[in-house]
Amino acid sequence: MNCDEASILLHALIDGELDAGHSREVEAHIAGCANCATQFQEFQAFRNTMSSSDLRHPTPPNLRARIEGKLPGSDVTVSRRSVFKGFVLGATVSALAASGVLVVVLRGDNERRVLGEVVSAHLRSLQGQHLTDVLSTDQHTVKPWFNGRVDVAPPVVDLTAQGFTLLGGRLDYIDANPVAVIVYRRRAHIINLFCASSLGATERSATMESLQGFNVRRWTENGLNLWAVSDVGADELAEFGSKFEAMLRQ
């Protein structure tokens, strides 16, 4: 292998894209070539610099709402928008309130606020020494711990085989109510799964939102409200959610 080839392939090595045979070839070249070895180290360091900065652009909420509103079957979002229009025009507000549309808006705001609280609780759990109250990778230890502490029986499932390690459980407070939190780990990332009774809320399919750089997957299941919060990518959090749901149905 010459330096021209190595200068391209060392990036594939950094990215973990080479098979074992090619990896060995590039590593052998780097071992014998000071110039390519320096490049390899420098680009590796640069990659770390990049991955430690937050280079993503979060979607503005109004764009998200606009897109969801333009997909079929999204009439709630559309009517929410028309309410705001009503406010701007300074007219028909009371009529809308009477028709119950305003309730939808307020409930949306409430969900937004709860979402903020869930993310704050996630942050607190990472900052302090209080990630878990019960530290166990055994679901049969974690689940009974919640008995008598919260008004729900949180679903604790073992997802180790799926790449999500159970770390334990914790009691937390959202909206001044005690909630059960099940803590998972994905590589170096913590996933907090908040469970609260849904108080008669209708079953909803999963939604993915992002707040302050954290992804939140929210869904309802068996009369429970669930929020999974983490700094892993949306796709991995979606994977966590679907694996979790699949395990529950087994």
| Binding footprint of other proteins on the chain (CB under 8 A) | 7-12, 15, 17, 42-43, 46-47, 49-51, 53-60, 63-64, 66-68, 70-76, 79, 123, 126-127, 205-208, 210, 212-213, 215, 217, 233-235, 237-238
Looking at the Cβ atoms of 1 and 12, the one nearer to other proteins is 12
User: To the nearest whole angstrom, how small is the minimum distance from the Cβ of residue 58 to other proteins?
Assistant: 6
User: To the nearest whole angstrom, how small is the minimum distance from the Cβ of residue 154 to other proteins?
Assistant: 23
Query: C-alpha dihedral over 36, 41, 46, 52, to 10 degrees?
Result: 150
Q: Which uninterrupted H or E stretch holds 193?
A: strand 189-197
Output the CA–CA distances (angstroms, integers) from residue 94 to 100, 125, 137, in the order listed: 10, 43, 54
Q: Which uninterrupted H or E stretch holds 166?
A: strand 165-174
User: To the nearest whole angstrom, how small is the minimum distance from the Cβ of residue 133 to other proteins?
Assistant: 20
Mutual orientation of helices 101-127 and 75-89 as an angle, nearest 10°?
100
User: To the nearest whole angstrom, how small is the minimum distance from the Cβ of residue 153 to other proteins?
Assistant: 26
Looking at the Cβ atoms of 18 and 159, the one nearer to other proteins is 18
Place of tokens 């029986």: 153
Instruction: State which amino acid sits at residue 59.
Output: T
Alpha-helical segments (H) within the chain: 3-14, 20-32, 34-52, 61-70, 75-89, 93-99, 101-127, 139-145, 234-249
User: To the nearest whole angstrom, how small is the minimum distance from the Cβ of residue 66 to other proteins?
Assistant: 6
Looking at the Cβ atoms of 172 and 209, the one nearer to other proteins is 209
Looking at the Cβ atoms of 73 and 90, the one nearer to other proteins is 73
Residue 226 tokens, joined: 């669930």
Looking at the Cβ atoms of 39 and 162, the one nearer to other proteins is 39
Looking at the Cβ atoms of 123 and 153, the one nearer to other proteins is 123
Closest of 92, 236, 91 to residue 164, by C-alpha: 236
User: To the nearest whole angstrom, how small is the minimum distance from the Cβ of residue 37 to other proteins?
Assistant: 16
Closest of 112, 116, 92 to residue 102, by C-alpha: 92
